[in-house]
Structure formats: C-alpha cells, structure tokens
Structure 1
Amino acid sequence: MHVPDGFIDAPVSVAAGVVAAGAVAVSLRGARRELGGTDAGPAGAERTAPLAGLVAAFVFAVQMLNFPVAAGTSGHLLGGALAAILVGPYTGVLCIAVVLLMQGVLFADGGLTALGVNITVMGVVTVVVAYALFRGLVTVLPRTRRSVTAASFVAALVSVPASAAAFTLLYAIGGVTEVPIGSVFAAMVGVHVLIGIGEAAITALTVGAVLAVRPDLVHGARGLSAPLKLRVGGELVDAPADAPAPAPARRSHRRVWAGGLVASLVLAGFVSFYASASPDGLEKVASDKGFDKSVEEHGAAGSPLADYGVEGVSDARISGGLAGVIGVGATVVVGSGIFYVVHRRRAADEQRNSSAGSSA
C-alpha cells in the first residue's frame, strides 16, 4: 500500500508529514523505555535492541513477497502489528518508518513527498490499531502462548483494513482526482480485508515461531509464564501462589538474531523472485477508479536500485536477489544504528540523573 507521489495534494501531504514526524518523535522517547529494559529487567536492552533492527530488516524482506489475493490483485505484509508485538509499539513505529525510508530513498518505492502519508498510514495506524486490539485480547484471554498467537492473528487482520480506511480518509480530504469516495472506501477496505488474512497468517506464524524458541524476546508476551510446578508424591501440582519464582537465566540472543538475519536474506534474495507480479491492493483500486493517472515520477527513479533491481545486471533473478540482499543489509544497519543510539541516549540520561542525585 505504498502511496506514490501525486495521489495526495501538497497541503494534506505536509499535514501527514507533521503527524508522522510527531509520531516518530514520540516513538523515539517511548522506545527508550522499551529498549532500555524498564519492563523486562536489566537484561531487557540486551535482548530487545538487537532484535529491533532485525525486525525492521525482516519486515523489509517479507514486504517483497507479494501474494495473490484475488484475480489480478496481490498484497504484501504491512508489518505494523508484527513489529509492535515483537519489540513494542513505539519501537514498532520506528521499525516501519525505517523500512519505508529505505524503500523510498533506495528503491523508489513509495513517494518521497508521500513519505509522511506512508508512515502515518502504514506505520502509525497499523501499530496503534493492532497493539491496542492485541493488548485488549491478551487481557481477557488465558495467558498462554496460544492466546498470544491468536491475538496476534486478529490484531494483524484488523490493522490492514484500518490502514486502508485511513488512506481513504486522507484521499477524501486531499485527493487530486474527483472520484466517488464511497466506492473507493468499499474497494480499498474490501480488498485489504483479504490482504489482512495473509498479514495475519504471516504475523501469527512469526510470533508463534519466536515464542516457541525464545518467548522472552516477544514484547507482547512479557509476563507470560506457566505456573510453577512442584513434584509431590510423584505427581506435578501447582505451587502455592506465594512460592518464589526462579530467577530467569540470561540467554544469548545471537542465535535468534543470526537465524532471523539468514531468513531475511533468503526471503529477499531468493524467495522474492517468485512473488506475485500483480498490482497490490492500492494500485489495483487506483487503476479501477481512475486516480492512478495522477501519479508523478518518483524523485529517486534514477537510483541504481530503483524497482528492486541492480542497475547494470541483466539477469532478472540475480538483479532482484542482489537488490533484496542490499536492502536487508541497509535496513538492518540503519535500524540497528538508530536503536543503538536510542538505547545509549537512555543510558546516558539515567547516568546523568544518578550523578545528579548523588551530588544532591
């Protein structure tokens, strides 16, 4: 659902840019807490900060895998729900913003003047809707891994048509072509419900896979634990409520990080060649309703990586694979760098406050 330049007029694009900038600023502050381990103990930052850069790279990779949803239409992961559940809502907004920035600047995917629109629609809306619904569901459901996975599925499913509705609202205010908004809304939400099913499946499978090996790395599953068991008379029984819980062992995240990075590289560098070539939901609706004619040439159209291919490489498979690998590498480096700086900024603030308290 990458909105190109020319769909939304300048005033609304600027307003959306202000909203996106505000959301990123708020998220930078909120991510300090999520990356700093406030909710997960002293080791929280060591677990979450490296994972955040990986999540951004994984979302980038999976967004290259368009899947068919209807005749002549495809869809791809938006990723807001997945990022928010894995690393937290504030960090999740930053993850999607990094992905969209890399796609726009390097690959001419999503307009540069529409970057604020895309961050608002694909990042802020999906994260807010998905995480609010996810938290509500895990509050009322039994606190089990299956419940977290099920809540992830529902949250991701709802977040996609919510994003489509948000785009329709922006188009109703700032669209440059006169089209019946009611029909645009129906078409956008209808096709993105189908895309949402694919998004939900990818999100639930990914969250479930991480839960199976390292539940401590899933932000949305913090505090999720089975009751302590004691063996009495050869049988396992629940321990008394006041029984002390064993201290959690510190475990390295390196294997998970390496495995996730390899998976991202394989998806972007190889599997992406088999992605659907059909237009995605927004492109299809724009073509059917006639407002695709307002698209302007992308400002980065001359990029050597434009359209997810490497300039000068004639073999389409190799060109696309190399572009995907470069994109994953650039995203994980930029994302990890940002999250490292955010974490270090929090550590510096805490040290400064501690020094001020001691001197007082």
Structure 2
Amino acid sequence: MHVPDGFIDAPVSAATAAVAAAAVAVSLRGARRELDDKAAPLAGLVAAFVFAVQMLNFPVAAGTSGHLLGGALAAILVGPYTGVLCISVVLLMQGVLFADGGLTALGVNITDMGIVTTVVAYGVFRVLVRLLPRGRTGLTAASFAAALVSVPAAAAAFTLIYALGGTTDVPVGQVFTAMVGVHVLIGLGEAVITALTVSAVAAVRPDLVHGARGLMKPLELRTAAGPLPGSPAAPEGAAAAGSTGHGTPGAPRSTKRLWIAGVAAALVCAGGLSYYASTSPDGLEKVAHDKGIDSKEEAHAAKDSPLADYQVKDVADERLSGGLAGVIGVGATLAAGTGVFVVLRRRRARTTPAGSGSEPGSAAL
C-alpha cells in the first residue's frame, strides 16, 4: 500500500507529513517507557523482519497481490509507540534506498501504514485479550483479529486522504469500495502472518512479547526434584542461590538465540523467498490502475538509486540481484532501527532516577 508521488496533492501531503512528524515525536517519548536492554535490539529486529516479509507479496485475487503492512505485528511484539517507530524506519528505508513509496508521500505512508495500522490493531488487541481466555491461544486469536482489522482500516484511511487531496477526479465511493474490498482479503494474509509470528515468539519467550505481559506465565524449568531455582514456583531464597553466573538458573535469560534466529529468518525471506513472491500489483496499485488514480503519478526522486525496485544495479542475474538487494535492505533496516532504539534506551537510563526500578510490566523482560 505504498503511495507513490503524485497521488495526493502538496497541501494534504504536507499536512500528513506534519501528522506523521508529531506522531513520531510522541512515539519517541513513549518508546522510552517500552524499551529496556532486551527490547531495544529486538525492536530493531522487528523492523528488519517487517521489511523482509513485506517483500513477500502473496496472491489474493486474480491479478492482485498483497503484502504485510506490519503495524499489528510490531505493536504486539514491542509496544504501540515502538511499533510506530519500527514501521516508520521501514518506510524511510524503502523510500530512500529502494524507490518504494514516494518521498513527498512519506508523510502519507507513515500516517496510513505506520500510525493507523498500529493504533487500530493495538486498540482491537487490548480489547480482545480482556475478553478471550488467557494464554497463548487467546493471545494468538487476538493477534489474528487485530491484524485483520488493521488492513482495511488503513485502506479506509487512504480513501479519506484521497478524498481530501486526491489529484484525480475519481468518485470517492468507488475508491472506498475497491480499496476496502481488496484489502479485506489482504488482511487475511496479514492476520495469518501476524498470528503465527506472535505465537511462535510467545512459545519460546513469552516474556519478550509486549502484548503478552500479564497474560502468560513465564516458562518454568522443572527437574525430578521440583522447580529449578529462579523459576516461578521455586521457594524464595532458591532463586537467589541460583541467580549468579552466566546461564545458571535464575539468571536473566539471554535474547541472543532469538535475535540470531530472527535475523536468519529475515535474511532467508528477503534474500531467497522474495524471488518467488507474486509479481502481480498490490491492492493499491491494482485499484489505482483500474480507477485511473495513477494517471498523475510522478517519477520517484530515487528512481536511479543503485537499489531501485529491489534490484542491485549492474547485477545481471535477476535472482541474485533481488536477493542481494533484500539482504542489503535487511542489514540497513536492522542497523538503523537498532541504532534508534538503543539511543532511546540509553536516554531512558539517563533520565530514570537511581533506585526507582523498572516501570510496571518491564520486570519480566
């Protein structure tokens, strides 16, 4: 759903840029409360993973494809404020390096794909987790529904933006019907990807899923003699006795394995599986072409980028070229995202009074 240059006029593009800038500023402050030493590098990983999976367009109807938007996934895994920042980093990397999504439309894309999807998804998610059974099943179901709703919500938001500043004379009702209709189907793919990813992370490290805080018990290590020291059922004192030393019971659990697995999955998706992605236009491209919205589309300012269209310039082999571009994109997004979140984490550490402890809910991380 990357909006190119020329679809939306300059005044509305500027207004959405202001909205996006304000939302990013608020998220920078809010993310300090969500990030800790483990969540900061994992947030960068979430951004890189979303970038990679967005390259995997899947068919949804004849001649139409869809791809992950990622707002729901990011919000549930690392929190809504951090989620907005994750998607903003992805969109910035895509627009500047890969000519995907207009530069003058960056505010439109962040508002639509970053803010709307994240806010709507997290709102639906929080309501559902209060109603559904506690545990991984309820978490997965809430993630599925939140992601499903977020995609047509973004389609409706684009229609509103188009109604305010569209550069072509296409009836808004036609745009709304076409956009929401196809994006309900795309939302099903988004829901499956989001639910499977959240469930997989929750299965091994529920303590790292922001949306699972207070919903799932920490994993408990048991032996024939009973719970190991440091596990939730261990007697007081046993945890203290086993809390020293790297890898000993009760010691803080490392995120290294999960981080490595996540990076590997992102590289496989972007560097290998992306070659097999659907080449059909995505939902917005299809609607824009069918309705004539793209008649005023402008050439991308970065169309001559060495990585434009997710191909490495001067690499003749299409499969190798696309794979290299995907790997470079994952690396750039991971570096940019991790850098932003580590800086935010350090600022939080400097502004937290000594001895005040973590805010509620962060101790499990």
TM-score by length of 1: 0.90
Query: Could you tell me which residue of structure 2 aligns to residue 78 of structure 1?
Result: 69
1:205 aligned onto 2:207: no
Cα distance in 2 between the residues matched to 1:71 and 1:336? 39
Amino acid at match of 1:274: Y
Q: Is the 8 A contact 2:206 2:218 kept in 1?
A: no
Cα distance in 1 between the residues matched to 2:322 and 2:219? 50
Q: Secondary structure at the match of 2:280?
A: coil
Amino acid at match of 2:45: L
Alignment equivalent of 2:166, drawn from 175, 180, 188:
175
Query: Could you tell me which residue of structure 2 aligns to residue 232 of structure 1?
Result: none
Bigger CA drift: 247-256 or 196-205?
247-256
Alignment of 1:184-199 (within 5 A): 184-199=175-190
Amino acid at match of 2:268: V
Query: Could you tell me which residue of structure 2 aligns to residue 12 of structure 1?
Result: 12
Q: Secondary structure at the match of 1:46?
A: coil
Cα displacement string for residues 107-152 of structure 1 (whole angstroms, at most 9, x for unaligned residues): 0000000000000000000000000000000011121111000000
Amino acid at match of 1:168: T
Q: Secondary structure at the match of 2:59?
A: strand
Cα distance in 2 between the residues matched to 1:123 and 1:81? 9
Query: Could you tell me which residue of structure 2 aligns to residue 329 of structure 1?
Result: 331
Cα distance in 1 between the residues matched to 2:127 and 2:251? 29
Task: Sort the Cα spacing of 1:153 and 1:228 in 2 relative to 1 into closer, same or farther, 3 A.
Answer: closer
The CA deviation at 1:349 is 1.4
Query: Could you tell me which residue of structure 2 aligns to residue 239 of structure 1?
Result: none
Query: Could you tell me which residue of structure 2 aligns to residue 260 of structure 1?
Result: 262
The CA deviation at 1:224 is 2.2
Amino acid at match of 1:193: V
Query: Could you tell me which residue of structure 2 aligns to residue 131 of structure 1?
Result: 122
Percent of aligned pairs sharing the same letter: 75
Cα distance in 2 between the residues matched to 1:11 and 1:226? 50
Amino acid at match of 2:180: V
Query: Could you tell me which residue of structure 2 aligns to residue 27 of structure 1?
Result: 27
Alignment equivalent of 1:59, drawn from 50, 55, 68:
50
Task: Sort the Cα spacing of 1:352 and 1:13 in 2 relative to 1 into closer, same or farther, 3 A.
Answer: farther
The two structures, once aligned, show a CA RMSD in angstroms of 2.3
Cα distance in 2 between the residues matched to 1:102 and 1:260? 19
The CA deviation at 1:346 is 1.1
Q: State the 4+ residue runs in structure 1 displaced beyond 4 angstroms.
A: 226-229, 243-249, 351-354
Q: Is the 8 A contact 2:206 2:216 kept in 1?
A: no
Alignment equivalent of 1:98, drawn from 63, 66, 89:
89
Cα distance in 2 between the residues matched to 1:198 and 1:225? 26
Cα distance in 1 between the residues matched to 2:321 and 2:262? 23
The CA deviation at 1:225 is 3.1
Alignment of 1:300-315 (within 5 A): 300-315=302-317
Cα displacement string for residues 281-305 of structure 1 (whole angstroms, at most 9, x for unaligned residues): 0000001101111110001111000
Amino acid at match of 1:259: A
The CA deviation at 1:88 is 0.2
Cα displacement string for residues 239-274 of structure 1 (whole angstroms, at most 9, x for unaligned residues): xxxx98997752000000000000100100000000
Cα distance in 2 between the residues matched to 1:227 and 1:322? 39
Cα distance in 2 between the residues matched to 1:320 and 1:228? 40
Cα displacement string for residues 28-87 of structure 1 (whole angstroms, at most 9, x for unaligned residues): 00000000xxxxxxxxx1221111000000000000000000000000000000000000
Task: Sort the Cα spacing of 1:155 and 1:244 in 2 relative to 1 into closer, same or farther, 3 A.
Answer: farther
The CA deviation at 1:352 is 8.5
The CA deviation at 1:189 is 0.2
Query: Could you tell me which residue of structure 1 aligns to residue 226 of structure 2?
Result: none
Q: Which has the higher helix share?
A: 1
The CA deviation at 1:353 is 11
Query: Could you tell me which residue of structure 1 aligns to residue 286 of structure 2?
Result: 284
Cα distance in 1 between the residues matched to 2:17 and 2:118? 17
The CA deviation at 1:228 is 11
Gaps of 5+ in 2: 221-233, 240-249, 357-365
Query: Could you tell me which residue of structure 1 aligns to residue 342 of structure 2?
Result: 340
Amino acid at match of 2:144: F
Gaps of 5+ in 1: 36-44, 230-242, 355-360
TM-score by length of 2: 0.89
Q: Is the 8 A contact 2:37 2:345 kept in 1?
A: no
Cα displacement string for residues 279-328 of structure 1 (whole angstroms, at most 9, x for unaligned residues): 00000000110111111000111100000000010000000000000000
Task: Sort the Cα spacing of 1:12 and 1:325 in 2 relative to 1 into closer, same or farther, 3 A.
Answer: same
Alignment equivalent of 1:275, drawn from 269, 274, 277:
277
Alignment of 1:100-249 (within 5 A): 100-226=91-217, 249=251
Cα distance in 2 between the residues matched to 1:196 and 1:87? 21
Amino acid at match of 1:20: A
Amino acid at match of 1:218: V
Cα distance in 1 between the residues matched to 2:82 and 2:319? 33
Task: Sort the Cα spacing of 1:228 and 1:78 in 2 relative to 1 into closer, same or farther, 3 A.
Answer: closer
Query: Could you tell me which residue of structure 2 aligns to residue 297 of structure 1?
Result: 299
